[in-house]
Amino acid sequence: MPGYVVVGTQWGDEGKGKVVDVLSKKVDCIVRFQGGNNAGHTVVVNNEKHILHLLPSGVLHEHATCIIGPGVVIDPFVLLEEISILQSKGMACDHIYISDRAHLIMPYHILIDTLEEKYAGENKIGTTKKGIGPCYADKYARQGFRVHELLDFEHFKSKLKTILEKKNQLLTNLYQEEPLSYEAMVEQFANILPEIQKRTMESLTYVNEALDNQKLVLFEGAQAAMLDINYGTYPYVTSSSPTSAGVCAGAGVAPSKIDRVIGVVKAYSTRVGEGPFVSELHDEIGEHIRQVGHEFGATTGRSRRCGWLDLNVVKHATLLNGLSDLVITKIDILSDFEEIKICTGYEIDGNVIHHIPSSLRDLEKAKPVYTTLPGWKQDISDIRDFDQLPENCKRYVKFIEEYTGVRVSMISVGPERNHNIYLYPLI
Residues classed as catalytic: 13, 41
| Rounded Cα gap, residues 70 and 66, in angstroms | 13
Q: DSSP state, 143?
A: -
Q: Hey, CA dihedral for 366, 372, 376, 380, is it positive or negative?
A: negative
Taking CB under 6 A as the binding criterion, the range among 146-154, 179-187, 330-338, 372-380 that sits at the site for ligand GDP is 330-338
Using the rule CB under 6 A, give the single segment among 7-15, 91-99, 147-155, 322-330 that binds ligand IMO: 7-15
Question: What is the closest distance, in whole angstroms, from the C-beta atom of residue 417 to ligand GDP in the complex?
Answer: 10
Q: Phi first, then psi: what are they for 423, rounded to 5°?
A: -110, -25
Q: In 3D, which of 26, 19, 20 has the Cα closest to residue 410?
A: 19
Q: Report yes or no: 239 and 229 within 8 Å, Cβ to Cβ.
A: yes
Under rule CB under 6 A, residue 273 binds ligand IMO: yes
Residue 330 binds: one of Mg ion, ligand IMO, ligand GDP, none (C-beta under 5 to 8 A by kind)? ligand GDP
Contact between residue 365 and residue 348 where contact means Cβ atoms under 8 Å apart: yes
Residue 273 in the binding site for ligand GDP (CB under 6 A): no
**Shortest Cβ 295–ligand IMO spacing (Å):** 11
- Closer residue to ligand GDP (CB): 107 or 414: 414
Assess 32 for contact with ligand IMO (CB under 6 A). no
Options 26, 28, 44, 287; binder of ligand GDP; rule CB under 6 A: 44
Is 133 among the residues that bind ligand IMO (CB under 6 A)? yes
Name the residue with the smallest CB distance to ligand IMO.
Answer: 273
Q: Which of 3, 144, 2 is nearest to 73 (CA)?
A: 144
Q: Which does 38 bind (CB under 5 to 8 A by kind): ligand IMO, ligand GDP, Mg ion, none?
A: ligand IMO
Strand segments (E) across 272-406 = 305-307, 309-310, 325-329, 339-348, 351-353, 367-374
Measured distance CA(379)–CA(298) in Å, rounded: 25
Using an 8 Å Cβ cutoff, are 332 and 413 in contact? yes
- The dihedral through the CA atoms of 248, 310, 13, 408 has a sign that is negative
Considering the complex, what minimum distance in angstroms separates the CB of residue 255 from ligand GDP? Answer: 24
Find the part of the chain contacting ligand IMO (CB under 6 A) among 222-230, 282-290, 310-318, 340-348. Answer: 222-230
Tell which one of 211, 342, 383, 413 touches ligand GDP (CB under 6 A).
413
Q: In whole angstroms, how close is the CB of 106 to ligand GDP at the nearest point?
A: 25
Residue 109 binds which entry of Mg ion, ligand GDP, ligand IMO, none, CB below 5-8 Å type-dependent: none
Among 21, 220, 310, 332, binds ligand GDP (CB under 6 A): 332
Neighbouring C-beta atoms of residue 388, cutoff 10 Å: 12
Q: Is 41 in the site for ligand IMO (CB under 6 A)?
A: yes
Q: How far is the CB of 6 from ligand GDP (least distance, A)?
A: 9
Residue 67 φ/ψ, nearest 5 degrees: -125, 130
Q: How far apart are CA 356 and CA 376, in angstroms?
A: 30
Q: Please tell me the distance from the alpha carbon of residue 285 to that of residue 225, in angstroms, as a whole number.
A: 25
In the complex, which residues of this chain contact ligand IMO (CB under 6 A)?
8, 11-13, 38-41, 125-128, 130, 132-133, 222-224, 227, 238-239, 272-273
